[in-house]
Structure 1
């Protein structure tokens, strides 16, 4: 029997690789004749770079870049020389997890560091870029990234705008003449884990801004600022991208990736599974175990467990999801190929305890699920 173990990370508790190890160790306790294949995954959010490095053998590189608040930081990226392919995770440079809750400011955070990582990839000779867009602390529509790559954003007085999404309300001129010319020959795919447009009640500011420190007034201000950015961009490019599904990903980075880098926006889990050769791993599997911190109705928009379940369903392979929490709407995942889903907690407990015991709880649930699967086959 072959079991494919492919969890995402459990936020604030376990990275995907550690989650996969915990599951595998628990199954080995059964001392049954089971082949275990660990394949940690991600859907474009935090941990995507680690999953890609582990699966492809890409070289880990680092660059000194700005973080979301403009401070100097070391950010990792991946380089697969034989394919001339770079892996850049937005969260490495502009991620929200790097900021303390009191530091999170959707009004002024910047994606400048992401542009610096892309520039490092171009310097290495990249011909293809896989850009993952989850986990951002930003709401600047990718303006900071553009500035790092040579664009100039100016107000009515000809002054360059300061960092952050709020500054875009003063945007009058978008000068792309200095944009790095190497971008023209770079094939870009952007991994998104949401399908939100740039603006409106489902847009970047309204849906994700509050998670990044935005008050209700800030949300209105940021939405208007991004609308201004979209207007000026449409005038400069002669194209409109604000309503594109996924444009609102990572505070509008989906919009910038498509509009200015020519990126193809794709569900992050599909891109990651493609890179790790997931179809081949799945081909002779008898059971798939996946999971992440929460399974809910929004998981159908492109989260790892549902992406895995859809692929497995096409091959008739049962899928067990282990989640820190089964939240409202999780039952919808059953129609997407999930065979069974289990929450990790073994009784009432505080969040702090659940996070601290995540590996233990994950191992226990996995062992129980596999015991049941073995019993059903005999």
Structure 2
């Protein structure tokens, strides 16, 4: 028997707020073995898209050492966050500093929240002499266009009177010029690869404020103010650098964090899923796969814009079936097929509350993976 034809790769993202990618992959693998026994060779490959869990996925793939660094959350309160270093490559998961969960104990303040704490993590890596930073920016609570990040590296955002503007989105429209004379001496020497989990532009109806502002507590008036502030920031950046950040796909991620970084630093934006897939050598792992099972908490239109599912489909062999297992399936069968996905199954056996599904996620994922393996195992030539 040709063992290469019996390889099934399980490569999910986390089911956010419920199970980690590692836990989901383990449950999927168990379900495949339930259905196919020893007939299948199951490869577990937990993934991430630039948000929650990306640091862990990259640290494992790069065999990187993690350490805890003093920083602040999106409201400026002291906390610690992890960074990882492998050789001269450092890894930051922005949400470890300014993620929404860390400010869930306070009233959301969309005009005040900033990315300063993420910049402190980058400063620490610069001090540790890294030459490359993998910056994963999903899940942030800020809307500041990256001004906080750059401020932590020494930049000063000044108004017409030469005073520093207020932090967060509140100060964006007051910026008259940007002073880089005190910028960290290595800031512009280090390559920064920014892992995005979305490709939204900075401004407009699909931009940072309109799409993600409400998730961070922004009212309709706040959304207008944030969008206007980011537009003003973009005009200042264009005047000082000649770079129009409004034309950069993905500049709207993480409250516009890539805007300032793209204007002043050596930055390359890329889908976070691709960064992780490259790091784990996914194309090699699934080169002989008869079936790939991926998944995430909600499979919807956003899944096709830089998320793990889209990355897995691109990286999997062209004729290999790719099946999605999700807590919620929000795309029609035709939309699923048009995206190159063979099928998408919800773990819900019937009508169910999210709280009920969260409690039983592991069992539900396992059962659904067994169903998928039974259905597609025969199709792929794998016999139980």
Q: TM-score, normalised by structure 2?
A: 0.94
Counterpart in 1 of 2:376?
373
2:169 to 165, 179, 199: 165
CA distance in 2, matches of 1:164, 1:184: 23
How does 1:247-262 map onto structure 2 within 5 Å?
A: 247-262=251-266
Structure 2 CA distance for partners of 1:329 and 1:107, relative to 1, 3 Å: farther
Gaps of 5+ in 1: none
CA distance in 1, matches of 2:50, 2:360: 26
Gaps of 5+ in 2: 1-5
Counterpart in 2 of 1:360?
363
1:199 to 179, 200, 203: 203
CA distance in 1, matches of 2:44, 2:151: 40
Structure 2 CA distance for partners of 1:72 and 1:102, relative to 1, 3 Å: closer
Are 2:20 and 1:10 equivalent residues in the alignment? no
2:245 to 226, 237, 241: 241
Cα deviation for residue 198 of structure 1 reads 1.0
Of the structure 1 ranges 152-161 and 220-229, higher mean CA displacement relative to structure 2 is found in 152-161
Cα deviation for residue 331 of structure 1 reads 4.1
Cα deviation for residue 6 of structure 1 reads 0.8
CA distance in 2, matches of 1:330, 1:234: 43
Are 2:42 and 1:29 equivalent residues in the alignment? no
CA distance in 1, matches of 2:252, 2:219: 18
Deviations 1:208-248 (A, max 9, x none): 10110000000011111111111222222232222211111
Cα deviation for residue 134 of structure 1 reads 0.9
Cα deviation for residue 375 of structure 1 reads 3.1
Cα deviation for residue 358 of structure 1 reads 1.1
Q: Give 4+ residue runs of structure 1 displaced > 6 Å after superposition.
A: none
Are 2:46 and 1:43 equivalent residues in the alignment? no
Is the partner of 2:111 in helix, strand or coil? coil
Cα deviation for residue 162 of structure 1 reads 2.6
Is the partner of 1:370 in helix, strand or coil? helix
Is the partner of 1:126 in helix, strand or coil? coil
CA distance in 1, matches of 2:343, 2:30: 21
Is the partner of 1:136 in helix, strand or coil? coil
Of the structure 1 ranges 20-29 and 278-287, higher mean CA displacement relative to structure 2 is found in 20-29
2:25 to 6, 16, 20: 20
Deviations 1:341-373 (A, max 9, x none): 100111211111111111111111001111222
Of the structure 1 ranges 99-108 and 44-53, higher mean CA displacement relative to structure 2 is found in 99-108
Q: TM-score, normalised by structure 1?
A: 0.95
CA contact (8 A) 1:190 1:257 kept: no
CA distance in 1, matches of 2:119, 2:165: 16
Cα deviation for residue 101 of structure 1 reads 7.2
Cα deviation for residue 7 of structure 1 reads 0.3
CA distance in 2, matches of 1:364, 1:148: 48
Structure 2 CA distance for partners of 1:141 and 1:34, relative to 1, 3 Å: same
CA distance in 1, matches of 2:333, 2:205: 23
CA contact (8 A) 2:49 2:306 kept: yes
CA contact (8 A) 1:141 1:253 kept: yes
Cα deviation for residue 160 of structure 1 reads 1.5
CA contact (8 A) 2:286 2:317 kept: no
CA distance in 1, matches of 2:290, 2:106: 47
Q: Which has the higher contact order (CA 8 A, sep 6+)?
A: 2
Are 2:337 and 1:334 equivalent residues in the alignment? yes
CA distance in 2, matches of 1:142, 1:283: 39
